[in-house]
Copies of this chain bind each other. A is one copy, B any other.
């Protein structure tokens, strides 16, 4: 046997990424084998290598795609001049964006240590750029005298850490709507920066 009926790279490629994403998020990169991914796609393990040079690149691609989309989506937003309004926009954007992609977020935070040094540096750089987006808002607010923040760098990391926590417990269809969750967190963020 060889090429199978209906096979097409436009179909198999994304399916491999989807399967890898889900399996990596569920069991962890190191615990998932190429054969498991292949089985999920309905293909033999060797076929995966038409789409990725190796397992590491598969992980890196997923993380890089996620971070780039995060940055691009945020950059596409029209920036509000008022620091308070900008912070609210960021807070709600962050929660919504991350809740819509639980698997990507999980991988981006948990699998950093499974990247090669070069790949790790690349992802860390993208992460840093996103953190800078928040920190620049905090700095503007401090400069304008509307935020009360002792250390903008720490506040940046603290806010992001707090917001990321949503992904550990929120489930669609639960006690609270996405809108309610956003509002509750925004309320805490707002108060934390002294607004």
Contacts and interface: CB of A to CB of B under 8 A. Distances in A.
Interface in A6-29: 26-29
A143 interface: no
Interface stretch (A36-44, A64-72, A79-87, A182-190): A182-190
A171 interface: no
Query: How many monomers of this protein are in the complex?
Result: 2
Interface in A95-136: 110, 113-114
Interface in A133-162: 148, 150-151, 154-155, 157-162
Interface residues of A, number: 35
Contact of A192 (B113, B161, B192): B192
A164 interface: yes
A30 interface: yes
A126 to B, nearest CB: 16
Given A168-B157, A191-B192, A192-B191, A150 B28 contact: no
